[in-house]
Amino acid sequence: MDRRHFMGQSAAVLGLLAGLSTQARANLPKAEILVIGGGYGGATAAKYLRLFSNNTARVTLIEPNTAFVSCPMSNLVIGGSRSLAEMTSPYDTLSKRHGIKIIQDSVSNIDAEKKMVKLASGKTLRYDKLVVSPGISLNMNSIEGLAQANKDGVTLQAWKAGPETVALHKQIAAMREGGTFALTIPEAPYRCPPGPYERACQVANYLKQHNPRGKVLVLDANQDIVSKGALFKKAWAEQYPGMIEYRPKSNVIGVDAKNKTLKLEVEDDVKADVLNVLPQMAAGEIAIKAGLANSNARWVNVNFLNFESTARKDIHVLGDAIQIAPLMPKSGHMANQHAKVAAAAIVAELSGWEVNPAPVLTNTCYSFVNDREVVHVASVHQYNAAEKTFKTVPGSGGLSPAPSILEGIYAWGWARNIWADSLG
């Protein structure tokens, strides 16, 4: 699927583009719209606010990084088959092609009463509508000793693609012959439900080629594999026999970085050569600081018709930071879809139109079980007005029957298309 078809299909599924052209010109130019965060949610929202308003909305994207780095596909970097550069995209197309003002900075405070945002550099910006797409924060203090171990570079998370992704691969490559790589998974919800199990595949695939006596130990706080369970278990048994050990209901409560030891809630301590510890996750720091995280102080409740925070008016929150609807994954694809619904709703609200009462979202998620073969899960989610949430459409989507190289080609097609859709 090329970029034009991908964009067209996304818009058609959402039912958003019709009628959103000339009328928007009347009111939108007066409004200041700020977008915090340039990930799958924020970058897409900024772009589609311009597209849906026929390029009349004034949109400013605030993002501290100079380029977008995709978390989806980054497990391949940990497995050594791909580079981080292959999943990195510049932001400048958003300004050159779409007229979005980009400020390279981070937000230190949101004043919802005054509708002001303060930047780390000290500058303040006014907004009429604010889109917050901060991704996740990692609660390093949820596991004893983890914060310092991570700060020292001994125990890495690599759950936000970037330098730690590359560093973790180096740790695996330097592991002694016959050593053990231990990966811990927090209790759901967390970003990218199948991500940890894909990571286990990628590390095993690397060890199979370079350190065949090496082991992968997966310590999962959940009752069982959270996503694509049967497919992962089959791949582990057939492609990595005896190499991957999976332990469900194994909750890690402490890290002894000096002795490379994990302390478990119930079981005996575990010693390994490389520790990849994923702690509990929550909405990005700025969402929590701004008082938006009103679901167990971790996630942001939103009105699913426009993704406006239920805690603060005119602040719309997207992506992994929100309290998800039933069976709605915290995925890059889903953040892209949140962004389009929110962008259309914001354009409608500022133009005095009715917000689309029946949005539809799609999700697709690919997982590499080695460096070429892939499995996927897909789903369609329809807004349910009676329950004010999204519900999975019965019979929609589904799972791969088995890993295949063809799906690996599809996975790269998906990635390149969604990067172009969000940033191109």
Task: Determine the pLDDT at residue 93.
Answer: 95
Instruction: Please tell me whether residues 178 and 111 are part of one structural domain.
Output: no
Q: Are residues 156 and 268 in the same domain?
A: yes
Residues 303 and 232 occupy one common structural domain: no
Predicted local distance difference test score (pLDDT) of residue 397:
87
Q: Is residue 411 part of a domain?
A: no
212 and 124 part of one domain: no
User: What CATH number does the domain containing 226 carry?
Assistant: 3.50.50.60
Are both 227 and 244 inside the same structural domain? yes
CB 342 within 8 A of CB 309: no
What percentage of residues in the chain have a pLDDT greater than 90?
93
Contacts of 363 (CB under 8 A, 6+ apart): 328, 329, 331, 333, 334, 337, 377, 378, 379, 380, 381, 397
Confidence of residue 9 (pLDDT cuts 50, 70, 90): very low
**149 — pLDDT class (breaks 50, 70, 90):** very high
Q: Looking at 246, 281, 316, which one is the last position of a domain?
A: 281
Record the pTM.
0.92
- Structure tokens that stand for 138 in this block: 């990692």
Classify the C-alpha dihedral 380-408-178-164 as positive or negative: negative
Amino acid symbol at 191: R
Domain total in the chain: 2
For residues 10-38, average pLDDT: 66
pLDDT, tens digit (0-9, with 9 covering 90-100), for 153-205: 999 999 999 999 999 999 999 999 999 999 999 999 999 999 999 999 999 99
Q: Domain check: are 267 and 336 in the same one?
A: no
What would the mean pLDDT of 310-330 be, rounded to a whole number?
97
Residue 346 lies in a domain: yes
pLDDT-derived band at 372, boundaries 50, 70, 90: very high
Q: What is the pLDDT of residue 317?
A: 98
| Ranges 170-174, 349-353, 357-361: which has the least confidence | 349-353
pLDDT band at 20 (very low <50, low <70, confident <90, very high): very low
- For residues 226 and 326, membership in a common domain is answered with no
pLDDT at 26 (0 to 100) = 57
CA 381, 383, 387, 393 dihedral sign is negative
Q: Across 300-401, where does the E strand assignment appear? A: 302-303, 308-309, 315-317, 360-368, 374-384, 389-392, 398-399
Give tens-digit pLDDT for 229-280: 999 999 999 999 999 999 999 999 999 999 999 999 999 999 999 999 999 9
Please indicate, yes or no, if residue 116 is contained in any of the structural domains: yes
- End-of-domain residue from the set 281, 310, 335: 281
CB 118 within 8 A of CB 111: yes
Confidence band for 27, pLDDT divided at 50, 70 and 90: confident
**For the segment 116-127, what is each residue's pLDDT rounded down to a tens digit?**
999 999 999 999
Residue 234 lies inside a defined structural domain of this protein: yes
Which of 281, 305, 328 marks a domain boundary?
281
Average pLDDT rounded to a whole number, residues 348-352? 93
- Find the mean pLDDT for residues 128-149: 97
- Tokens standing for residue 417: 């298309």
What mean pLDDT value characterizes the chain? Answer: 94
Range of the domain at 254: 146-281
Helix (H) or strand (E) holding 164: helix 163-173
One domain, residues 220 and 151: yes
